[in-house]
Structure 1
Amino acid sequence: MDISPTGGPDGPAADCPLVEVVAAYLPRLTEFAFEPGLVAAVDQHAAAVRDALIPAPRRGGPGVTLTTTAGAAGSTPVRREDLADYVLGFTDWLAETEWIEPVGHDFATLRLTAVCWLVREHDLLNG
């Protein structure tokens, strides 16, 4: 799936903060094949982000899992605007704490990788 902004660098998502995060952290999703524990960690972070963005009534309440795709019955898609706002706040916090990306995985890299997973699963940069 191509998750680049529609229409190239001037597409509708070109100025979205998600583009920069996807460019930096999407390659980490390829590590899933080699690190099974990473899948679980990223899934937990994605669930936490989704819970922060989507109130329980809109989510459909308990029992709705993140592993369903955006179009699946019973799932509520994450909205690009909501996730972009979340990313702006999170990356501002990282800048304030003078965070430096480690070689491995820490809380921030897992969270940003989860954001990429959500962008991909909900097709947030196309259209």
Structure 2
Amino acid sequence: MFSLAEISSTYRQRFAEFAFEPAFVAMVDQHVADVRARLGADGPGLDLAPPDPERLTDYALGFLDALTEIDWREPVGHDYAVCRLTAITWLVHAHDLLPEVRD
């Protein structure tokens, strides 16, 4: 089973594509908004509260379980799942939701 840190580590690499793929940025932005709405983190105003890390983790792991059930394989391009997982990763990093790694 994956952790939020593993998902984030894997899909953070996709952020580099934002510089030359404006359509990908727009798709990820839409997915961020949808995930926020599903988690109840889309409050009024421009300063949105960070999503609850536990709820985001549960959502992400459930999403990965669904992908496993359909035998999804990550494509070279940007399908729905890549956009959704990148959006989850963006939320994690934008709100610093990962606990610090301690030695």
Q: TM-score, normalised by structure 2?
A: 0.88
TM-align CA RMSD: 1.8
2 CA distance for matches of 1:85 and 1:79? 10
| Residue pair 2:41, 2:48 contacting (<8 A) in 1 also | no
- Aligned pairs (5 A) from 1:27-106: 27-54=13-40, 59-60=43-44, 64=45, 74-106=47-79
Cα-to-partner distance string for 1:13-63 (whole Å, 9 max, x where unaligned): xx972111111110101110111111111000011001000166xx23xxx
Q: CA deviation at 1:126?
A: 3.4
Instruction: State the identity %.
Output: 50
| Residue pair 1:21, 1:116 contacting (<8 A) in 2 also | yes
Greater fraction helix: 2
One-letter amino acid matched to 2:82? T
Task: Please tell me whether Structure 1 or Structure 2 has the larger radius of gyration of its CA atoms.
Answer: 1
Structure 1: unaligned runs, 5 residues or longer: 1-14, 66-73
Q: CA deviation at 1:94?
A: 0.3
| Residue pair 2:32, 2:88 contacting (<8 A) in 1 also | yes
What residue in structure 1 maps to residue 5 of structure 2? 19
SS state of the match for residue 43, structure 1? helix
Q: Tell me the number of residue pairs that the alignment of Structure 1 and Structure 2 aligns.
A: 100
